[in-house]
Amino acid sequence: MPLTGVESWLEEQERFDALRQRALAKGGARLADLAYANAWDGPPEAVREALRKAAASEGALDLQYTPYGGQTVARRVAARELAEVTGVPFGFRDVLLTAGAMAALSLLLRMSLPGRVLIPTPTWLDHPLYAAMQRHEPVLVPLADDFSLDVDALRDALATTEELRAVILTCPGNPTGHVFREAELRALAAALEDAGRPLLISDECHRDYLFGGTPFLSPAAFYANTAVVYSYGKRFLVQGQRLGYAALHPDAPEAGARKVLLKRLARAGGYGMPTSLMQRALPDLVKIDPARAAIEARRERTREALEALGLRVVGEATMFLYVEVGDDWAVTEALADRGVLVLPGAIFHHRGWLRLTCSATDAMLARGVEALAEVLA
């Protein structure tokens, strides 16, 4: 049954799904899965403990429906953190809690009538899919060769795109791991101001994983018509426990009316609400240091091993490594034949690169590097 308009955005993913099935059938439990960001070592024990505590709570309504937009206590926790990270005084009413970042993105894209959405690429796989699902036409604008923002290309696209509804930027970049600098974000803000102040959706799911001392800067600090998207799944390595948010900048145009609209959409859509369990656990969860140190150590070891093979590896952020390999699909398929799963750049609307996740185990990553050396030899 066709879902008109979104099929073309699913082609590369479905090709990967078929490859995954083949690889699973062949490799079974021995598969080195470096594709999606699942944490193969599981979440830190303190995270499990916070979830157990929330589940053990005995109030009659503790596990029942929560208000549209989320429980006030959890919204306050999210707003306080966001205000600290961005320097923008987000309050709890600016934050709509959702079932992960996926629901937040869909709701934000549903706020406007169908039009066009500009997306600097490579980008997270489902950004164009969600735009298409909300009847927008995704317009992909390549990032610069070093994956920084190509402000001239973006200005050209802004000037020539009619019925522009939003721009989606992944900050830091996924799959690229690029951390946007102040000069880039100021240039972006100026370009958006000149283009009539369209909504900027800043997808900040990976902002907790910054390495090498580069500070995280949110576009919200430079541009008021920003909606921040975030996910706690990545931070606490519990991606199946769905909690994230969409937060509208307090000084965004028509902020009051748009917040009402977002809540109505959450209600009318019938999807997107997070579980009460995750909301109850949040005040305890945010006291836990994210699992950054373990990911960083693995990331550095794997990067060194890949660079020793003479490969170009980029990124100062995220739990991923992005590696230039030539024909991304051919290398992905050859790796799958050897029991190693990675994501080809094509999934991220880009070609010639692979993404490996350092949320996999050390042993899986070591096998991945070994197999890549064989394939490229």
Ligand X SMILES: Cc1ncc(COP(=O)(O)O)c(C=O)c1O
List residues near ligand X by CB under 6 A.
37, 100-102, 124, 170, 174, 203, 205, 231, 233, 239, 244
Nearer to ligand X, 277 or 366 (CB): 277
For the sheet containing 95-98, what is the strand order?
A: 95-98, 244-248, 226-231, 199-203, 164-170, 116-121, 137-142
Q: Which of 258, 179, 174 is nearest to 219 (CA)?
A: 179
Q: Which is nearer to ligand X, 288 or 366 (CB)?
A: 288
Tokens of 256: 């009051």
DSSP-assigned letter for residue 348: G
In angstroms, give the least distance from the CB of 124 to ligand X.
Answer: 4
Is the separation of the CB atoms in 211 and 296 below 8 Å?
yes
Give me the least distance between CB of 355 and ligand X, in Å please. Answer: 10
The full DSSP string for 23-55 is HHHHHGGG-EE-SS---TT-S-HHHHHHHHHHH
C-beta of 25: minimal distance to ligand X in Å?
25
Of 100 and 128, which CB lies nearer to ligand X in the complex structure? 100
Count how many residues are written for the chain.
377
Locate 321 and state its tokens: 């490594």
Based on CB atoms, which residue is closest to ligand X, 101 or 346?
A: 101
Q: Which of 240, 194, 230 lies closest to 209 in space, CA to CA?
A: 230
Q: Residue 274 CB, nearest distance to ligand X (Å)?
A: 10
Q: Which is nearer to ligand X, 100 or 339 (CB)?
A: 100
- Name the minimum Å distance from CB 148 to ligand X: 17
Please give the residue whose beta carbon sits closest to ligand X in the complex: 100
